[in-house]
Amino acid sequence: MINGACPVHARMQKIELAEDKRPFEKDMSEVTGKVIGVFAKDAVGKLTHPATSTHMHLLFTDKRTGNLATAHIEKIGLAKGAFVAFPK
């Protein structure tokens, strides 16, 4: 997950982000929360990242602080028994 400037865009454009613009990036092997996202077939590189038709964020409670946190999701997998709901 990512919180801050988009490192994917910077890497694809071969742009070096200034130290104060670099995002916080963290790999989490397991987290409980809600994934909020969109599928936008014709918005690649506009609403979504290049080469993908989805854009997702994670809402979760930070175990350290107890605060609600949110972050952009770059890659996701679902554990056995995960609950997934889609709007009609």
Q: Beginning with the edge strand found earlier in the chain, give each strand of the sheet holding 54-61 in spatial order.
A: 24-25, 2-3, 68-73, 54-61, 34-39
Taking only the tens place, the pLDDT of each residue in 19-36 is: 887 777 778 888 889 999
pLDDT of residue 61: 92
**Of 27, 16, 37, 14, residue with least CA distance to 84:** 37
Q: What is the pTM of this model?
A: 0.66
Residue 59: predicted pLDDT: 93
pLDDT of residue 4: 64
